[in-house]
Amino acid sequence: MEYLHTMVRVRDLDASLDFYCRKLGLVEVSRMENEKGRFTLVFLCAPGDLERAKDKKAPTVELTYNWDPEDYDGGRNFGHLAYRVDDIYAVCQRLMDGGVVINRPPRDGHMAFVRSPDNISIELLQNGVLPPAEPWASMPNTGVW
């Protein structure tokens, strides 16, 4: 398992970048605009991690800016912790066997979400690609993730 990033939703991308980059000292690694989904993702890292972060080998902070205004009640501005795993199906099965609800099953063989006992959302991302497989491919979402 490899720690990837922490996601935080932001209301004002410019103000957030001013804080995280100019004031705190983080640097921008990458940015993705998604017109269909109406959001922007900006990944930041510590200056000493920049070269490794460009190769996705250092942890980052993901700023998620949703273009449509939204109030983030109940801590929804904190998004999730993300981990890369070698076999997402095996990890999800182990979690399920331990009584953990798979909120967003890995239907695509790539991504799943679960929640901690304190309701923190945790994203699991497959290292590489696995073909869709049952029971995951037809399993519905449960709750929120």
Rg of the chain on CA atoms, in Å: 16
β-sheet with 121-126: strand ranges across: 27-34, 39-45, 60-66, 2-10, 78-85, 121-126, 111-115, 102-104
User: Which of 2, 28, 62, 123 is flagged as catalytic?
Assistant: 123
Read off the tokens for 121.
């959302």
User: Is there a catalytic annotation at residue 123?
Assistant: yes
The C-alpha atoms of residue 73 and residue 54 are separated, in whole angstroms, by 33
Distance of CA 40 to the CA centre of its chain: 13
Helices then strands (H, E): number in the chain?
A: 3, 8
Q: Which are the catalytic amino acids?
A: 123
